[in-house]
Structure 1
Amino acid sequence: MTANEQGPEPESARRRAPAGAAVLRAEKTEAIREAVFAELAAVGYARMSIEGIARRAGVGKTAVYRRWRSKLHVVLDLVSALAVQGLPTPDTGVLEDDLLMLYELTSRVLRHPVASQILPDLQAEAARNPDMAQAVQKALREGQYGVAIGIVRSAVERGEVSADLDEELALDLIAGPLYWRAVVMRAKQPKGHTQRLAKATAAALRAL
């Protein structure tokens, strides 16, 4: 039987990828992401380069450029991904306990060596770069702030705080103290600090 007698070529056989088409392998993408975090912590955003990222990830520069146009786009993508992941929302049924869980989770994140190096650098870059500022703000609002507002609204539903409280002020009260100590002052937390902070914040929210 000749090729013509065998009938038309199957559709799947005709739909071949074009020659030289790049396949973005997930494991390589993850290696690059990890390399970006390590490079940020090691040299900071200003000195970070695509060459350094590629070298640390064990890939060529082309592999990075296939995924992101520049180092800014790499970092913006990572910051946005962190926002999507977020933190779990505590649901203990008591405002003070919800705040304590949030503070303990956040404290562990902020104490991580990589986070303690990267966050101040990203904040400094955000002051100069509107795109970075928008990404950092989105990450904070959808991450830490998103969890905090969930805690506040649950407390409103339980009658623990007033339904008329100022949510923006409430978010400042919840998120500000830990960030100030860990990121701005870079000071260690004394023993029992998160417990005292949760109690004080809960009292402040009830007074709003």
Structure 2
Amino acid sequence: MERNRSVLARLGGMPRKREPAGAAVLQESVTSAIAAAMFDELAETGYARMSVDAVARRAGVGKAAVYRRWPSKQAMLLDLLGAAVRRNVPEVPDSGSLAGDVRGFLDVIVAQVAEPRIKRIALDMAAETERSPELGAALREAVGGPRRAAADAVLRRGIERGELPADTDRELGLDLLISPLLGRLLLTGGPVDDAYLTRLTAVIVAGLTSA
């Protein structure tokens, strides 16, 4: 239970400050309760079955409190999920080397995605991208955008140091940095220990420098 609470604190924390609608002042404590309730519902029932009514009941507020903040379930999801991703994908520290930056980025992904609760939400979101192309496009921007920006910083620094050629295919590089580890964490379920991350770092660096 305590572990779930710590994850809830990461996922359901306060999103970016919103301007009040008209003269109404949106209480931060209510917004935080709604955010926590939404992530609980999302993890337990999935997006398709989640309703604004259920989120409001779990948060202990009226449905109107939700609609004062977001016009729809989808808008609530994108705002809160995007804010959570931005908080949990910090810029990878500059280690001074491409290999060090790649390993630092992999560590960031593991810290963000390894928790089983987060895996359930991530897999549910992946399924929703197939059901609704419009929602999928919005999710890729809200969730994938911050992660790819962090990965791009790794490539940019490698180019600036001369470790990567200036004409490096950065889109391909982003896929190489992100996809193998996410696939293992979310799909195959193989172990992700220090030895695996060390080997994966070496493979990614070799791929980037030989592309």
Q: TM-score, normalised by structure 2?
A: 0.82
User: 1:58 aligned to 42, 57, 60, which one?
Assistant: 60
Q: What's the secondary structure of 2:131's corresponding residue?
A: coil
Question: What aligned pairs does 1:43-122 form with structure 2 within 5 A after superposition?
Answer: 43-85=45-87, 86-122=89-125
1:112 counterpart letter in structure 2: E
Q: Is contact 2:92-2:108 (8 Å) kept? A: no
Aligned residues: 188
Judge which range, 65-74 or 146-155, deviates more.
65-74
User: 2:156 aligned to 146, 153, 156, which one?
Assistant: 153
Give the whole-Å Cα distance in 2 for the aligned partners of 1:141 and 1:39. 22
Q: Is contact 1:79-1:135 (8 Å) kept? A: no
Residue 190 of structure 2 is matched in structure 1 by 187
Q: What's the secondary structure of 1:68's corresponding residue?
A: coil
Alignment gaps of 5+ in structure 1: 1-20
Question: What aligned pairs does 1:19-34 form with structure 2 within 5 A after superposition?
Answer: 22-34=24-36
- Deviating above 3 A after TM superposition, structure 1's stretches of 4 or more consecutive aligned residues are 82-86
- Report the CA distance shift for 1:55/1:118 in structure 2 as closer, same or farther (over 3 A): same
Give the whole-Å Cα distance in 1 for the aligned partners of 2:163 and 2:34. 46
Instruction: Among all aligned residue pairs of Structure 1 and Structure 2, give the percentage whose two residues are the same amino acid.
Output: 39
Give the whole-Å Cα distance in 2 for the aligned partners of 1:105 and 1:182. 13
Shift of 1:190: 4.4
- Report the CA distance shift for 1:130/1:82 in structure 2 as closer, same or farther (over 3 A): farther
Give the whole-Å Cα distance in 2 for the aligned partners of 1:118 and 1:76. 13
Give the whole-Å Cα distance in 2 for the aligned partners of 1:142 and 1:83. 9
Give the whole-Å Cα distance in 2 for the aligned partners of 1:136 and 1:41. 16
Alignment gaps of 5+ in structure 2: 1-22
Shift of 1:166: 0.9
Which has more radius of gyration?
1
Q: Is contact 2:37-2:58 (8 Å) kept? A: yes
Judge which range, 183-192 or 98-107, deviates more.
183-192
Q: Is contact 2:82-2:143 (8 Å) kept? A: no
Q: Is contact 1:82-1:143 (8 Å) kept? A: no
> Cα deviation per residue 1:22-76 (whole Å; 9 max; x = unaligned)?
4310110011011111110011111111121112111121211221222112112
2:59 counterpart letter in structure 1: A
Q: Does 1:39 align with 2:41?
A: yes
Q: Does 1:201 align with 2:208?
A: no
Shift of 1:134: 2.0
Q: What's the secondary structure of 1:180's corresponding residue?
A: helix
Give the whole-Å Cα distance in 2 for the aligned partners of 1:187 and 1:72. 32
Give the whole-Å Cα distance in 1 for the aligned partners of 2:143 and 2:34. 23
Give the whole-Å Cα distance in 1 for the aligned partners of 2:48 and 2:178. 27
Residue 127 of structure 1 is matched in structure 2 by 130
Q: Does 1:166 align with 2:169?
A: yes
